Structure 1
């Protein structure tokens, strides 16, 4: 079920950045929220770059979290994908057509709304 804007804002205000006084604390809140609310593995598509300049969207398995509270600086959030038996760290924003459980889907919706915060 897709969250409303109000529900997303409530999660950001009362679960992620509640009691945060600095940007560092807010970053830690985001990292913890993502870590606790995303279940691995899940399926997505990732744009694979082939030579010479050809690009194709391929189904991949998102297998793990690459970012944690000690490495998250408020910018990009990285996950590990498995493509043809190779594990590659990618920005979560580089994925599309994600097929995951409801909690993961909602966490990703909240993540995509972070710029409005």
Structure 2
């Protein structure tokens, strides 16, 4: 059962801009999302990375700078972004799931795209 109510405006955007012409093909849907996010996220921006600790059920929050989408071949099952810790350098870049990120200082277009992805997951949709 979906954990959020249906949002017709968001559903329309998903159907007409993101997964349009994908014919229920998993890889095409994944790439629809990938290119939508790649085109819409205005990077870099700061975000909170919320991840569950392996040792406990606690959620750790760390601030990261989002640099962009991970390579498309890494995004066939989930959407990943490349991030770095604020004081990090090019060698410190790593990928995190978009579902684990909350934008801190992103523009409205970026925040809407992230909210679209979170909505998609909360509704229980899959590629």
Pair in the same fold by TM > 0.5:
yes
TM-score of the superposed pair, with normalisation by structure 2: 0.72
Equivalent position to 1:58, from 50, 57, 62:
62
**Equivalent residues of 2:44, 2:65 under 8 A apart:** yes
Equivalent position to 2:9, from 7, 10, 17:
7
Name stretches of at least 5 consecutive residues in structure 1 with no aligned partner: none
CA distance in 2 between partners of 1:102 and 1:89 (Å)? 23
TM-score of the superposed pair, with normalisation by structure 1: 0.77
Name stretches of at least 5 consecutive residues in structure 2 with no aligned partner: 1-5
Query: Structure 1 segments of 4 or more deviating over 3 A?
Result: 47-50, 52-56
Per-residue deviation, 1:98: 3.2
* Total equivalences in the alignment: 111
Tell me the residue number matched to 1:101: 107
**Higher strand content, 1 or 2:** 1
CA distance in 1 between partners of 2:52 and 2:20 (Å)? 40
